[in-house]
Structure 1
């Protein structure tokens, strides 16, 4: 109820960890929790910047730690876009947020993939893209 806001940003990291477990049904059932957090913060403050800042910060360390994959990126994008589009006031800011996160996730996954690669030119290219 009205106390949900007290869990943002504190629960973003633990829920992100849970959504990153490579189990399709778990991901499908937990990713929508992010939308609930976005909506909760938006209804109180007219933005979801605390949630956004926290998920971006945590995502970086989680992917660096070996979690996340292409399937996750696709599910995150499709599930959250679908949720956001059902709420007119969150459609545009939600789409922008999803584009930001999936873009970052793509770059982080590319960067992680090449860190063990011998092709130094490609590694540099990914590093530049990430910056």
Structure 2
């Protein structure tokens, strides 16, 4: 599921990114609270692998990186 949201977040549209990127935080939070050991490793690994593949395909860029960082740090 992470890959689908990442593909949408990597669309070069600031408004779409502003709406989709917070979903990653919500997914991370859900994973944390639903895990008996409060473990987010599975989600984090999936996100890193998916993002790595998409970046290798030259998707995203500085604007995505800046927005992702800003939004995730603000939450």
Q: TM-score range by the shorter chain?
A: over 0.9
Partner residue, 2:43: 51
Q: TM-score, normalised by structure 2?
A: 0.93
Aligned partners of 1:19 and 1:47: how far apart in 2?
24
Gaps of 5+ in 1: 1-10, 84-131
Partner residue, 1:64: 56
2:31 is the alignment partner of 1:26: no
Q: Which runs of 4+ in 1 moved over 3 A?
A: none
The structure with the largest alpha-carbon Rg is 1
**Relative contact order (C-alpha < 8 Å, sep 6+): which is higher?**
2
TM alignment of 1:2-41, pairs within 5 A = 11-41=1-31
Gaps of 5+ in 2: none
- C-alpha distance after superposition, 1:66-124 (max 9, x if no partner): 101101001000101111xxxxxxxxxxxxxxxxxxxxxxxxxxxxxxxxxxxxxxxxx
Aligned partners of 1:76 and 1:47: how far apart in 2?
22
Aligned partners of 1:70 and 1:12: how far apart in 2?
20
